[in-house]
Amino acid sequence: MKVVIGMSGGVDSSVAAILLKKQGYEVIGLFMRNWDSSINNDYLGNPNLNNNICPQEEDYNDALKVCEKLEIPLHRVDFVKEYWDYVFEYFLSELKNGRTPNPDIMCNKYIKFDMFVKEAEKLGADYIATGHYARIKDGKLLRAVDSNKDQTYFLSQLSKKQLSNVLFPIGDLEKPKVREIALEYGLITANKKDSTGICFIGERNFTKFLENYLPNIPGDIVDIKTNEVIAKHIGLMYYTIGQRKGLNLGGNEDRTYAVGKDLEKNILYVSDIEDYLITTEAIIEQVNWISDERPNKCTAKFRYRQPDNDVELEFLDNNEVLVRYPAGVKAVTPGQACVFYLGEECLGGGIIKEVRKNGQKLWYL
């Protein structure tokens, strides 16, 4: 059976390719170029990077070396336009609306498990594979064995059909074991640092990058309790609910949170009172169900590394769900994903549309 695996130039996809070969599959590597790194290239002068080559090309060269070592072919495909249309435009639109988007989820939905699949089919693939930390069993999407690396949160917008011919070879492994296998095979990616942050921004300065696409509109930072202007913000798009670092408030930074935004007045509200961040209900839109289960009670994550929260679901019209969490959760943020779980199974998820406290929509969110 032929498997086309997404080779990212990282250790996870490298080891996934090893495991597939050991299982007897015919393995073909496919590297996706999703972003034109020559656009707004401000990598020069960044001490964390090799300034002779952009990170994307560095990743491709690493993937090529791994594939040569494992004696598997590597193809390269360009999805720059598709990524711009389906992921980056969405990212900018959400920021303009004062929300906090999660482009990785849309990248999985439209690029890695759609455009990539079509390209893999041209190569005669029976299956596709990736280096995601997740598992599939009996048609169900399950959390990875390594709970610290589990990536089902980012797969929550995929359909059952998209997952029907997918393999996640490292889903049963802990991350240290993955690196151990890479070291055994002498792979260049064995000790390579994991990528973090938004893929198309990478190690670059977030503010400087966004200035190329959205105008900065400075405004007031207001203490929500006293209604006093205490500082200036550089543009609402640069802040997310619950944020503390980067507010530039002087000595109060460690104790003060961003708690809300007023788009019309261009105000960022802050407070040192954590209760302003606590909500008890949220409306979730664009809900995607992977599972056939539609429980009234389950758990949910409102952010990637957040612990599970006990929730109750009420199914509304227009593919929306009212999620109740009476114990209260901090910093549930419009634009982020809410992902539902029943034990080990990822049921699906949607996008946080609005948040409420004790049935009332909060005016500052």
Contact yes or no for 6/30 (Cβ under 8 A):
yes
Owner of token pair 């959205």: 214
What is the reported pLDDT for 54?
A: 64
Does 250 map to a domain? yes
Rounded Cα distance between 340 and 320, Å, is 13
Q: pLDDT digits over 174-201, tens only?
A: 999 999 999 999 999 999 988 776 766 6
Kindly report the CATH number assigned to the domain that includes residue 350: 2.40.30.10
Question: Taking Cα atoms as reference points, which of 1, 10, 4 lies closest to residue 188?
Answer: 10
Q: Which of 54, 67, 107, 338 is catalytic?
A: 107
Q: How far is CA 279 from the centre of its chain?
A: 23
Do 222 and 348 fall into the same domain? no
Does 143 map to a domain? yes
Do 247 and 117 fall into the same domain? no
User: Could you list the residue range(s) of the whole structural domain that residue 29 is in?
Assistant: 2-184
Q: pLDDT digits over 57-100, tens only?
A: 889 999 999 999 999 999 999 999 999 999 999 999 999 999 99
Rounded Cα distance between 237 and 105, Å, is 19
Q: pLDDT digits over 101-140, tens only?
A: 999 999 999 999 999 999 999 999 999 999 999 999 999 9
Do 285 and 223 fall into the same domain? no
Do 161 and 106 fall into the same domain? yes
Q: Is 107 a catalytic residue?
A: yes
pLDDT (average), residues 260-283: 96
Q: Is 199 a catalytic residue?
A: yes
Does 247 map to a domain? yes
Per-residue pLDDT band at 364 (split at 50, 70, 90): confident
DSSP string for 167-222? E-TTTTS-HHHHHHHHHHTT-TTTTPPPP-S-TTTTTS-HHHHHTTTS----EEEE
Per-residue pLDDT band at 44 (split at 50, 70, 90): very low
Per-residue pLDDT band at 24 (split at 50, 70, 90): very high
Do 24 and 169 fall into the same domain? yes
What is the reported pLDDT for 346?
A: 98
Does 206 map to a domain? no
Give the count of domains, the chain.
3
Query: Which letter does DSSP use for residue 116 in this model?
Result: H
Owner of token pair 């670092």: 245
pLDDT (average), residues 337-341: 98
What is the reported pLDDT for 49?
A: 47
Q: pLDDT digits over 309-322, tens only?
A: 999 999 999 999 99
What is the reported pLDDT for 195?
A: 78
Do 267 and 228 fall into the same domain? yes
What is the reported pLDDT for 206?
A: 79
pLDDT at 237 over 60: yes
